[in-house]
Structure 1
Amino acid sequence: MTDQLEAAPPIAATPARSARAPVGRLRGGLILALVAGLGLVTLLVAFVGLGDVTKAVSAIGWRGFALFTTFWLPVMWVTGVAWAAAARSLRSDRIWPFVWARFVRDSAADVLPFSQVGGLVFGARSLIAAGVPERVALASVIVDMTAEIAAQFFYTLLGLGLIAVRLNRALAEPVLWPALIGLSLLFAAGAAVLLAQQRVVGGLGRLARRWLPDSIARADAVGAALEEIYRRPGRVALAVILHLCGWIGGAAASWIALRCMRADTPFWAVVAVESLMYALRNLGFALPGNLGVQEASYALLGPVFGVHSGDALALSLLRRARDLVIGLPVLAIWQWREGRALLRRRTGA
């Protein structure tokens, strides 16, 4: 009997292998994308010149980098307030959970290889852990993402307007078409998110009714929270305006970094470069953190607006370093808080 049991093929082995297969393919895809992004960055550094990039990075110094990093914190605070506005939680005692959730969301997206989806999930989880009702947290994530896409659309339009006003036709044409393609993708993504919100929530509700009866009320609650938010369009418009201020504030941080690198670049040029860079980053959504696409955008767009390619590429690498300096402690604190909450739940049980 023992021999027969040992000789019999394990029934659960095939499903287990089939369940692990998608996970393995996903992991392999992430590794391939990461290697491709790192390879592109390496080629760009070699093309621009390692000496020029190193010189630009060294020129900013520790004080300049600290100023560059510190200036980013109020920019993140503004985007957190925009999220709170989308959730109709502008009371001072309710803003901080959204600001902290924004830090967690961006840190996960910038540091971990999950792209934007993982950041959205972690941000929503942080809100729920802070006591924000689940329906409000999930609905506000959707609305805030829509508001941010709309703000980025206007930001890119601002960059295109600066190109039309400041550059001559010969310099503008090579930049306009890629920027228009990125802007079109951004507009399509925003329209798709806006049009699909109610349908997605409704589809989840129907799926819950069929397979997960306990989740019916939760899906319906998220749909009701979405409707409640959109009944106050002024709050959504405020979220868009705050996000637009955040985009411009990010350009101001980059301008400060370039000034610390002794690059005499006008502020309008930095706004133009960054607005178009973010539009072009949409083309590299499959790469973790848009690795390589961001660097290529800076290196190609910078010289068109009078920014030396070495300075532009150094700025991109400094942005990566800033994301790590902010993101790693934020994720460590978030994990510590999650661990404490889990321990309290287990102790209470």
Structure 2
Amino acid sequence: MNKVTRGGVFAALIGGLALLTLIVALVGYHAVLAAIERAGVAGFAAYTVYWPLVILVLGGAWFAVAPGLGARGFGILTWARLLREAGSDILPFAQVSGFLLGARVARSEGIAEDVVAASTIADVTAELVAQVLYTLLGVALLASQLRGGPDAAPFVWPIVGALGFLVFAACAFGVVQGRGVSWLGVLAERWWPDSISRADAVRASLDAIYRRPLRVLAALALHSLGWVGSGVGSWIALQFMDAHAPLWAVLAVESLMYAARGVAFILPGGLGVQEGAYVLLAPLFGLQPSDLLAVSLLRRARDLVVGVPTLLIWQAREGRKLLGRPDRPASGA
């Protein structure tokens, strides 16, 4: 990482932290802290323990588009997905770090390189399409709530813009992924003489995945369930705060918040953008901004509680392999 890149990452991090601090100050520290206190240790524990259940669903979605893997493959890809989330939320370069880390772990656990790369591409595509559907749900709920009134105008274009960005990203990713793999192989030939053959293998695996549309649809369904499941987690946290927020309203806010985070993908965890979206959207659905800000801070605490040990375990396993003491292979196909 050169100085310019480091400077950009540091500036983005500082800017996000400053925005988060400003938003909490505007809403009121005391109100946010009071909501966190109402959730208590039990609420945070329930919120944190619930998250691995969502990861299991997301691991299943990746497994659905990874051909030829047995039961052991499901465990590997679920572990890799957990690391992908930890990398996206904690490490620099936001989601890119997570994708690279997840693929590296799956490869180091013995899954063929072409299967790892092709299944990652297909999984990300299914996740993007599922997010578009989830955002459409939020837009429909918002339209129903506002019913075209004058209060709707300030929110229409930003939401349409975020949705348009997600649709464009999903379409572009779907269109160029096969050719993009081939182009990368040609570009890398100068440094890796076998890069074209490796790219051809990835493209062949990708074609094989898309020749099994039922598995792709299964991944799409599981990702859709994962998006909804993430919203249910926020609803659970709000119940511990005695907010008594209706589930449909929480899902609407969550779907639109994640659309905003998707546009601000450069920031690790959408730092500041996540909180700003919560504050703007909460009143539209009869929710308290302080309660949703509390959920946002609990989410960041959860990401650290789950993500940091996950990354440390990964580092320890990598260290064992470098020292010539690989972990005992898991049983299964």
Aligned to 1:257: 237
| 1:269 counterpart = 2:249 | yes
Q: Percent identity?
A: 51
| Residue 150 (1) aligns with residue 132 (2) | no
Matches within 5 A, 1:201-240: 201-240=181-220
1:187 partner amino acid: V
| Aligned residue type for 2:14 | V
1:9 alignment counterpart: none
Q: Judge conservation of contact 2:93–2:266 (CA < 8 Å) in 1.
A: no
Instruction: Give 3-state SS (helix, strand or coil) of 2:323's partner.
Output: helix
The answer to whether the 8 A contact 1:160-1:176 is kept is no
Structure 1 match to 2:270: 290
Deviation of 1:89 (Å): 5.2
Cα–Cα, structure 1 residues 309 and 208, in superposed 2: closer, same or farther, change >3 Å?
A: closer
**Structure 1 segments of 4+ aligned residues over 6 angstroms from their partners:** none
Checking the alignment, whether the CA contact within 8 Å between 1:45 and 1:53 is kept in structure 2 is: yes
* 1:344 partner SS: coil
Pick from 9, 19, 25: which aligns with 1:46?
25
- Between 216-225 and 59-68, report the one with greater CA deviation: 216-225
Aligned CA-pair RMSD = 1.5
How many pairs were matched up?
325
- Structure 1 distance, partners of 2:88, 2:189, is 32
State the TM-score, normalizing by the size of structure 2: 0.94
Q: 1:329 to 1:211 in 2, by over 3 A?
A: closer
* 1:289 to 1:123, Cα distance in 2 relative to 1, 3 A: same
Paired residues for 1:13-52 under 5 Å: 23-52=2-31
Question: For residue 118 of structure 1, what is the aligned residue in structure 2?
Answer: 97
What letter matches 1:162 in structure 2? L
Say whether 1:74 aligns with 2:53. Answer: yes
Shift of 1:291: 0.4
Q: Is the 1:30–1:288 Cα contact (8 Å) retained in structure 2? A: no
Which residue in the other structure is 1:312 paired with? Answer: 292
Output the CA distance in 1 between the equivalents of 2:322 and 2:295.
40
Q: Aligned residue for 1:15?
A: none
Task: Report the equivalent of 2:147.
Answer: 168
Unaligned runs of 5+ in 1: 1-21
Query: What amino acid is aligned across from residue 145 of structure 1 in structure 2?
Result: V
Deviations 1:304-328 (A, max 9, x none): 1111011111111111001111101
Equivalence for 2:306: 326
Question: Alignment partner for residue 174 of structure 2, among 188, 194, 205?
Answer: 194
Structure 1 CA distance for aligned equivalents of residues 106 and 100 of structure 2:
10
TM-score by length of 1: 0.90
Consecutive unaligned residues of structure 2, counting only runs of 5 or more, are 327-333
Decide which structure has the larger Cα Rg and report it: 1
1:87 alignment partner, SS class: coil
